Chain A
Amino acid sequence: MEDLAIQATKSLVSGLLMGLVFALVALGLTVIFGVMDIVNFAHGEFLMVGMYTTLLTSPLLGIDPVLTLPIAGLVGALLGVMCYFGLIRFLIKGPMIAQLFGTFGLMIFLRNLALLFMGSEPRVIHQGWLVGKSFIVGPGVVLESTKLAVAVLSLVSFAVVWWLINRTKVGRALTATSLDAEGARYMGISTEKMNALAWAVGGASVGIAGGLLVNFWPVEPGVGLLFTMIAFATVALGGFGSVRGALVAGILIGIIVNIPPVWDSMMRLVDVTGLDIHSFKYTMVYAIYFLIMVLRPQGLFGWKQ
């Protein structure tokens, strides 16, 4: 029974950390969707670019990978702005389907660009302040330094974005653009700039997330897809465009995917084994996702248009 309590604590801590990782990855996606109503299929590839930026710049500049985060954020922001001005602003004039296929094409383009220049082998960072470090904070409860750093950064990023949107003039302009772009234009707001800002904020947040994640996850051109699916589920569950919703949904999903070890331990107590943890955890995530979608199509914190 004691083992079960320890397992539950471990799972809760691990779930909370992982949830904040998912939330940070989803943050940029929800900001872009909130302002422009565009689903960015290339979001995971922005994350991949952030990972490669840190992987390459750290040895090049001879600094710790953590110190390259501003560069990863800047590259992410620039990529976001470039994508907006080079592709998205043309797509938004077309039907919804053009936007979907446009960002899908962007995803394929960025992935193949990475294949061309970086090759397809997975790469890892071997040295760094966060690499391989962890802290034991209780019986069997371990805090992994990379995930802890991402979790802290996630909370800070959410606070900054919340402050930006709710407490600044630019934020009010962003909100006005997201609610009624045409009306905002009549009020003298440059919606073009607001859209570009949304892509810059989205790109920067996911770029920084990638820069931190590469301290733990191997990077290869296809790595974005792993996180994109979770980010989509997070944004949809939390409510399309809701920053608060992305945070809550991220944590919720993190905890859900870390529940199976508790079930597993319970089953072991009655001497039953054979739980397919992996299938079980994602089945649970998407079952809850569908349930919320059926009961509340706008997501937990979304609003009806």
Chain B
Amino acid sequence: MRKIAILAAIAIMVALLAPALAVAGPKEIKIGVIYPLTGSVAAAGRELRNGAELAAEIANNVMPKIDMTMAKNAGIKSLGGAKIVLIFKDHQGNPQLGADLAKKLIKDDKVVGILGCYHSSVTKTVSAVCERYGVPMINGSSTSPTLTKRGFKWFWRTTPHDKWFTKDLFEFLVGLSKGKVKGVKAVPMAELKTLASACEKTEWGSNVSLEIANFAKEYGFDLKANILYAAKSPDLSSEVQSMIATKPGAMLFASYTSDALLMIKTLKSMKAKPKVIWGQDAGFDKPEFRALGGEIEGILTRSVFLPSVVKMKPLAGEVNSMYAKKHGHDMDGASARSFTGLQTWVYVLEKAGSTEPKAIQQAANTISIPGKQLVVPWVGIKFSTKGDEIGQNVLGNGLIGQYQMKDGKIGLQVVFPFDMATAPMIFPFKGF
């Protein structure tokens, strides 16, 4: 009888303790974040870091004003309120350094997973390390299409990639010729048909260049110059000369910050005057670029976040005003995508309820984050688990914005998708 009583007492104690044991998880969850924090792309690195930090701050605290699930809990609820801790590393745009940092984060810092790395070339080596060690990696801002064509089991990408963005550009140009662009009458195709492109020659720019060539052919444009150049270049005069010589209707660029600034200054000094100038985000969407002021009025850039989006999305407005209060300027494509990347990490961990790689993998493969939870104007986040794009978010989309002066301040207005246009487009580009 006594034995039965003791066993019963133990059973009751276990039963009482079991829920507590079940929710007792780690007090903090370490995520390794690998970004270019120094070097010529440091301006982007700063925005990326700021975006990830803001997402972590919202996830770790209760912020009732923000209508996001992660803002309702202090930490990861399914892991006993464990806080997200970010460990930042600087890859300086160097793929080998990125791979070494990933190994260090995995082996020494024992991170649960990795977020990064902006440069597609670095994301490529870092994701290969993660794949080898079976550690999950979420990528928020690398857009080389090849990254999700490798069949990796531990790599997920939230952002749309350059194939989608470049397709948007050609849809936009065709729309321009058909009078679909707000405020612009149909432009004769002959005025737009000739194109010239210059892209920096890392993994990212090279793939953009390739996509431009493919889509130009598909959409019936004549790509007269398709130039690759080194982002760290002392001079871009010969590249710009070659582009001008083709008398293009539109000039297309994929540039990081330093070379985007140099490119614009060279275009200006050589009196380039195409009808359209379009940049593939990155350097064309940084505060340093915007600081050129009236000079860049009329230039287009693709993005996934434009400050004017906040008019249509109150949630984006709330997060953006928090960001602007902290950093003195609006979010841009880099910070918004980094924010979304870390947010995805939070939702995946919440769904997994565990820090075990297998549980995270399963959660990532089945997660579905609705668009209303996001600051970026996407339908949502849902990763492909089969086909030739494993790990790619299939619910993303891009925007094309145009720099316009408003109240003496330069800012971006949405011109594509056509039904989301926030202002009439300035056409043609007025020149420098």
Complex Cα spacing A124 to B432, Å: 17
Query: For A11, what are the chain B residues with a Cβ–Cβ distance below 8 Å?
Result: 238, 241
Q: Is the CB of B242 within 8 A of A260?
A: yes
| Segment among B1-9, B226-234, B414-422 that sits at the interface with chain A | B226-234
User: Does B224 contact A142, Cβ atoms closer than 8 Å?
Assistant: no
How would residues 222 to 251 of chain A score, 1 for a CB under 8 Å from any chain B CB and 0 otherwise?
110111001000000000000000000000
**Residue from B40, B230, B232, B271 within 8 A of A134 (CB atoms):** B271
Min C-beta distance of B44 to chain A, whole Å: 9
Chain A contact patch, size range = 35 or more
Taking a contact as CB atoms under 8 Å apart, the answer to whether A278 and B432 are in contact is no
Most chain B beta carbons < 10 A, residue from A14, A133, A146, A264: A264
State how many angstroms separate the Cβ of B391 from the closest Cβ of chain A.
Answer: 31
A134-B270, A277-B238 known; A265+B228 contact, CB < 8 A? no
Chain B stretch 246-273: residues in CB contact (< 8 A) with chain A: 246, 257-258, 261-262, 265, 268-271
Tell me which residues across on chain A come within 8 A of B42, comparing CB atoms. 119-122, 220
Residues of B within 8 A of A147 (CB): 269
Residue-wise interface mask of B (292-304) relative to A, using a CB-CB cutoff of 8 A (1 in contact, 0 not): 1101000000000
Complex CA–CA separation, A90 to B261 (angstroms): 41
Contacts A268-B224, A278-B230 given; indicate if A122 touches B242 (C-beta within 8 A).
Answer: no
Report A's interface with B, CB cutoff 8 A.
3, 7, 10-11, 14, 18, 21, 115, 119-124, 126, 132-134, 136, 140, 142, 144-147, 216-218, 220-223, 225-227, 230, 257-261, 264-265, 268, 273-274, 276-279, 281
**Complex-state Cα separation, A192 to B296, whole angstroms:** 52
| Known contacts A115-B38, A278-B233; A268 and B246 CB within 8 A of each other | yes
Which A residues touch B238, using CB under 8 A? 11, 14, 257-261, 277, 281
Enumerate 11 A-B pairs (CB-CB under 8 Å) in ascending A order: A119-B42, A120-B39, A126-B291, A144-B269, A216-B265, A222-B232, A260-B242, A264-B225, A278-B227, A278-B233, A278-B239
Complexed CA–CA distance, A125 and B261 (Å) = 11
Please classify how large the interface on chain B is, using the bins under 10, 10 to 19, 20 to 34, 35 or more: 35 or more
Chain B residues numbered 207-248 whose CB sits less than 8 Å from any CB in chain A = 223-230, 232-235, 237-239, 241-242, 244-246
Specify which chain A residues have a CB less than 8 angstroms from the CB of B244 in the assembled complex. Answer: 140
Q: Given the interface contacts A132-B432, A276-B228, does A257 sit within 8 Å of B235 by beta carbon?
A: yes
Residues of chain B at the chain A interface (Cβ within 8 Å): 37-40, 42-43, 45-46, 201, 223-230, 232-235, 237-239, 241-242, 244-246, 257-258, 261-262, 265, 268-271, 288, 291-293, 295, 432
Name the residue on A nearest B247 (C-beta).
Answer: A3
- Chain B residues contacting A281 (CB-CB under 8 Å) are 238
Taken together as a complex, chains A and B put the C-alpha atoms of A227 and B232 apart, in Å, by 10
Q: Specify the chain A residue showing the minimal Cβ separation from B38.
A: A120
Which 9 pairs show the lowest CB-CB distances between chains A and B? A120-B42, A144-B269, A226-B234, A120-B38, A278-B229, A261-B241, A134-B269, A261-B242, A218-B261
Assess whether B258 is in contact with A220, with CB atoms less than 8 Å apart.
Answer: yes
> Are A273 and B228 also in contact (CB < 8 A) when A134-B270, A142-B270, A281-B238 are?
no
Q: Please give, as numbers and ranges, the residues of chain B lying within 8 Å of A260 by CB-CB distance.
A: 238, 242
A264 and B228 contact, CB distance less than 8 A:
no
